[in-house]
Amino acid sequence: MPYYVYVMTNPNATTLYMGVTNNLERRVYEHRMKLVDGFTRRYNLTILAYFEEGNDVLSAIAREKQLKGWLRLKKVELIESVNPEWRDLSEEWFREGDSSRSLS
């Protein structure tokens, strides 16, 4: 089963959030739709800026903790190494009116 470490941000890229999930599409949807109260909802973190995929949950959790320990500059450098324009990497996953997407 794949596990993902991911970074969400807001439209101004002023706040970063790191998380771990085994279903990246579902989790990003939850963030985008603000379905769960908390940090990402409060700070409008709806843009997927970065993610990594692995096969081990413990490694994913360790990586998340590692990234959370970094200074912001190092986190920004990591994001920009694969996403220099800070595009929403999930922008094509969710189209208006497309109820055929499976988020299971």
Nearest to 93 by CA among 24, 25, 21, 11: 25
Residue 75 lies in a domain: yes
61 φ/ψ angles, rounded to the nearest 5 degrees = -65, -40
Residue owning tokens 């771990």: 20
> Could you read off the pLDDT tens digit of each residue along the chain, which spans 104 residues?
999 999 999 999 999 999 999 999 999 999 999 998 999 999 999 999 999 999 999 999 999 999 999 999 999 999 999 999 999 999 999 765 544 444 54
CATH number at residue 57: 3.40.1440.10
Distance of CA 79 to the CA centre of its chain: 11
pLDDT at residue number 33: 93
Yes or no: say if 83 and 26 are a contact pair by the CB < 8 Å rule.
Answer: no
Which tokens belong to 14? 């002023």
Q: Structural domain tally of the chain?
A: 1
pLDDT at residue number 94: 79
Domain boundaries, position 74:
3-82
pLDDT at residue number 2: 96
